[in-house]
């Protein structure tokens, strides 16, 4: 709670303690509040339930268990191959198929490790200046500059390359040119059909209605291959929706299934979720969650008008790419702002409404640069009652 006469904040913690501070930095992150959909009967289930973002410290015993996995985003696609050989059965409930591609992780040989260490400074400089925050460099040509045969070779190289290169080293117009995007998607669909033996399951795993980048594409290891195991089953929730959770399992439109463990791989209240839960009150008692009721309003994704001496690096409007690198940029900005305030003898530093308007308008008008606005996760649409807004910074570091 901000106190205007003293220019300080009072911070109350859950144990009842109070702390007075001139500056508050809320480094709460954009993926820190797990989201579980409101499915009837969830509280009635007598077995184990775990959200992938709230995983217990003690190991979960999956041996011989009947497991339901709800959600196939970034964490869900990692869970599937990790537990399939241990469980009695694994039923995966998929709402939307995504364009998953292989991570292709591999051990780092001693020679490569030595090279990385020797080139540390140049690697850091590349990361610090890269618009995406990655070492990878975008391919600076249109896909249509290559022949069809050359494009197929290029797609094969991307498929076999390290994880994020599918995005960050692709053709420069892969996400914006419908022809190139559709061809890349057809290439990926062919890979899925070639890996998954059951044609019906393969078709369910091929996204419909969005191209590559229309939603955040996950990366995985052995995900598609796992559906060839006899104890792994895929349920398309668009065809067979969950009607309720029972005491003993999951009930769909086709009947009930007994389950021992439910895993909720249903993501997070992205972007504003954690900040809106802090009870932040700025000038005149202005509630942050009410101020952002129609979507976040920020300056550089680190501060908001009406909330003096309050910063939130790693918050909305601040990252698209390698998040740790972007967050580092924002932390540097906050530190510089605090030093600037102290050296000039000021007690208060605050964003102007005009600066906030300019940045927020820039973010909201930059949707064409980021296909992720269509993604329910990165636009807030998965949270009931939440407006669909740009929660990322599609313009990259060049805008900062």
Q: For 207-226, how does the pLDDT look when each residue is reduced to its tens digit (9 = 90+)?
A: 998 999 888 899 999 999 99
Mean of pLDDT values over 20-40: 94
The predicted pLDDT at position 261 comes to: 99
Q: How confident is the model at residue 322 (pLDDT cuts 50, 70, 90)?
A: confident
Query: Is the CA virtual torsion 337, 340, 342, 347 positive or negative?
Result: negative
CA dist 397 and 321 (Å) reads 10
Task: Using alpha carbons, list the distances in angstroms from residue 127 to 165, 238, 248, 329.
Answer: 15, 41, 50, 11
pLDDT at position 368 over 80: no
79: left (phi over 0), alpha (psi -120 to 50) or beta: alpha
The predicted pLDDT at position 255 comes to: 96
**Which CATH architecture describes the domain 2-33+270-399?**
3-Layer(bba) Sandwich (3.50)
Mean of pLDDT values over 84-109: 97
CATH 3.50.50.60 domain range(s) in the chain: 2-33+270-399
Q: Are 363 and 390 in contact (CB under 8 A)?
A: yes
Q: DSSP character for 367?
A: G
- Other CB atoms within a 10 A radius of the CB of residue 128 amount to 13
Q: For 270-280, how does the pLDDT look when each residue is reduced to its tens digit (9 = 90+)?
A: 889 999 999 99
Mean of pLDDT values over 62-74: 98
Q: How confident is the model at residue 371 (pLDDT cuts 50, 70, 90)?
A: low
Q: Which two tokens stand for residue 397?
A: 């570091």
Q: For 334-353, how does the pLDDT look when each residue is reduced to its tens digit (9 = 90+)?
A: 999 999 999 999 999 999 99
Mean of pLDDT values over 374-394: 70
Is 120 exposed, middle or buried, given 0-12, 13-18 or 19+ CB atoms closer than 10 A? exposed
Q: How confident is the model at residue 367 (pLDDT cuts 50, 70, 90)?
A: low
Task: Give the chain's mean pLDDT.
Answer: 92
- Other CB atoms within a 10 A radius of the CB of residue 256 amount to 13
Alpha-carbon 329 to chain mean position: 19
Nearest to 314 by CA among 304, 327, 303: 327
């Amino acid at each position: 709670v901000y106190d205007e006469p003293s220019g300080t904040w009072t911070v109350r913690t859950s144990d009842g303690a109070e702390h007075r501070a001139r500056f508050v930095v809320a480094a709460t992150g954009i993926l820190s509040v797990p989201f579980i959909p409101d499915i009837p009967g969830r509280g009635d289930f007598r077995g184990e339930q775990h959200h992938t973002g709230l995983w217990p410290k003690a190991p979960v015993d999956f041996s011989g268990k009947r497991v339901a996995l709800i959600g196939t985003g970034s964490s869900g696609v990692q869970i599937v191959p990790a537990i399939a050989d241990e469980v009695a059965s694994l039923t995966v409930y998929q709402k939307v198929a995504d364009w998953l591609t292989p991570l292709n992780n591999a051990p780092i040989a001693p020679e490569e490790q030595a090279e990385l260490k020797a080139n540390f400074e140049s690697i850091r400089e590349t990361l610090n200046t890269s618009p995406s925050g990655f070492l990878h460099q975008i391919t600076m040509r249109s896909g249509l500059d290559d022949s069809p045969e050359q494009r197929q070779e290029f797609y094969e190289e991307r498929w076999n390359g390290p994880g994020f290169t599918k995005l960050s080293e692709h053709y420069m117009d892969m996400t914006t040119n419908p022809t190139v995007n559709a061809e890349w998607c057809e290439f990926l669909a062919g890979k899925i059909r070639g890996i998954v033996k059951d044609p019906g399951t393969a078709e369910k795993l091929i996204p419909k209605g969005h191209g590559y980048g229309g939603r955040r594409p996950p990366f995985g290891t052995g995900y598609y291959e796992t559906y060839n195991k006899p104890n792994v089953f895929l349920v398309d929730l668009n065809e067979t929706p969950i009607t309720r959770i029972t005491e003993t399992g999951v009930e769909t439109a086709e009947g009930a299934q007994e389950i021992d463990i439910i895993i909720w791989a249903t993501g997070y209240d992205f972007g504003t979720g954690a900040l809106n839960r802090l009870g932040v009150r700025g000038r005149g008692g202005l509630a942050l969650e009410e101020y952002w009721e129609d979507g976040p309003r920020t300056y550089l994704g680190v501060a908001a008008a009406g909330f003096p001496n309050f910063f939130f690096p790693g918050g909305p409007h601040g990252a698209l790419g390698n998040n740790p690198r972007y967050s580092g940029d924002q932390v540097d900005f906050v530190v510089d702002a605090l030093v600037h305030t102290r050296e000039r003898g000021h007690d208060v530093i605050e964003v102007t409404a005009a600066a906030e308007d300019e940045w927020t308008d820039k973010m909201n008008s930059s949707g064409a640069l980021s296909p992720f606005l269509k993604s329910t996760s990165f636009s807030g649409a998965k949270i009931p009652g939440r407006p669909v807004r740009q929660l990322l910074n599609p313009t990259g570091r060049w805008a900062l």
